[in-house]
Structure 1
Amino acid sequence: MTTDSSPAFIDFEASSLDLIASYPIEVGVCLADSSLHSWLIQPHVLWSDWSDSAERIHGISRSTLEREGIPVHEVALQLNELLSGQVYCDAWTFDSFWLHRLFRAAKVLPAFQLESVSMLLDSSQVHQWSQTRHQVIEHLALPVHRAANDALILRETWWRLMQAPLANHADGA
């Protein structure tokens, strides 16, 4: 669930970056209270795309997904139990595609709406996003390209930008 003070964030890892054939292989959520949830997703019977270069980045093999993944229907239901309202991501084009692909395969409608984190930011914060994100990654010392870690990095980057002194948000800053 989201609160007025802090939204929920979501991130996906995928079989590849092909927006025609790819599918979600892991989803991670960071809730308003900073609690993390993640699921490896068992490939749906119709999902066959696979990129060895993507596997080298996220470190998740297709055989691991087949062995340890949760069926798409169960993942969709669990996401709907946890999330409502607006949920934020940093790669809306890709994340919305993978969210749609997951829920369509599950034959379930999402109980929440995906939005870009940029909707929460002013122009100065958008400008500071990349540098702040790198600082968060360095500070947390977590591996990137794992969905729960990336969702936490999103939340912590947003949080740092919200805590920045007002002087940082002046025009031209």
Structure 2
Amino acid sequence: MMTVPIVIAFEASGFGRGSYPVEVGFSQRHGEGWCSLIRPEHDWNLWDEIAAGLHQIPREILVANGNPVRMVAEQLNSQLDGYTVYTDGWVHDYILMARLFEAAACSPNFRLADLREIISPQQESMWQATKIQVEDELNLARHRASNEARILQLTWLRTFDACRILH
């Protein structure tokens, strides 16, 4: 029996090498969300205006209101301890997660996995249309990590349920 996956998303300072996490959020099995801004470390300097335009979080806000990397890593470990947590951008998010935990001088005690591991070919065929429908229904004003995680989780759930009904 498949359970609803916990889905995590990271927002980044840029799209390439040298980018760092600026926000992390996840949606738990029953839809409870959690999100945190991340205060940049002193050597995290890359700032891409295109990425900033997407997540709409000014660097000044991160510096003033972001949580220290150690605190964010500890909160993630506390809430996700022992779980497998899924992402739709495994390579990118793995690098961001590693950067966060390296800066916090600790290791994640949860497993980050690619959402594609638990998406069937039937789900994949209806994924994009379902995701657009979920986004439209939720009508979220801001692009945030926890919102993105919830969209992905609901898309997975709806496509999973649709495939069960079809069979």
TM-score interval for Structure 1 and Structure 2 normalised by the shorter chain: over 0.9
Unaligned runs of 5+ in 1: none
Of the three residues 38, 42, 47, the one matched with 2:44 is: 47
Structure 2 equivalent of residue 108 of structure 1? 106
Runs of 4 or more off by more than 6 Å in structure 1?
Answer: none
Of the three residues 151, 155, 169, the one matched with 2:153 is: 155
Structure 2 equivalent of residue 58 of structure 1? 55
Equivalence map 1:12-161=2 (5 Å): 12-18=10-16, 20-83=17-80, 84-143=82-141, 145-161=143-159
Distance 1:165 1:130 in 2: 15
Please say if residues 42 and 71 of structure 1, whose CA atoms lie closer than 8 Å, have aligned partners that are also in contact: yes
**Could you say if the C-alpha distance between residues 30 and 145 of structure 1 is closer, same or farther in structure 2, counting changes exceeding 3 Å?**
same
Distance 1:41 1:168 in 2: 43
TM-score, normalized by length of structure 2? Answer: 0.94
Q: Secondary structure at the match of 2:96?
A: helix
State the one-letter code of the partner of 1:45. H
Unaligned runs of 5+ in 2: none
Pairs aligned (count):
166
CA shift, 1:34, in A, is 0.7
State the one-letter code of the partner of 2:115. V
Please say if residues 122 and 163 of structure 2, whose CA atoms lie closer than 8 Å, have aligned partners that are also in contact: no
Q: Secondary structure at the match of 1:164?
A: helix
**Could you say if the C-alpha distance between residues 119 and 165 of structure 1 is closer, same or farther in structure 2, counting changes exceeding 3 Å?**
closer
Once the two structures are superposed, what CA deviation does each residue of 1:18-42 show, in whole Å capped at 9, x if it has no partner? 1x20000000010112100000000
TM-score, normalized by length of structure 1? Answer: 0.91
Of all paired residues, the percent bearing the same amino acid is 38
Distance 1:144 1:60 in 2: 10
Q: Secondary structure at the match of 2:44?
A: coil
Once the two structures are superposed, what CA deviation does each residue of 1:27-82 show, in whole Å capped at 9, x if it has no partner? 00101121000000000111000011111111000000000000000000000001
Distance 1:122 1:168 in 2: 13
Once the two structures are superposed, what CA deviation does each residue of 1:92-127 show, in whole Å capped at 9, x if it has no partner? 111111011100110110011111111111111122
Distance 1:28 1:165 in 2: 28
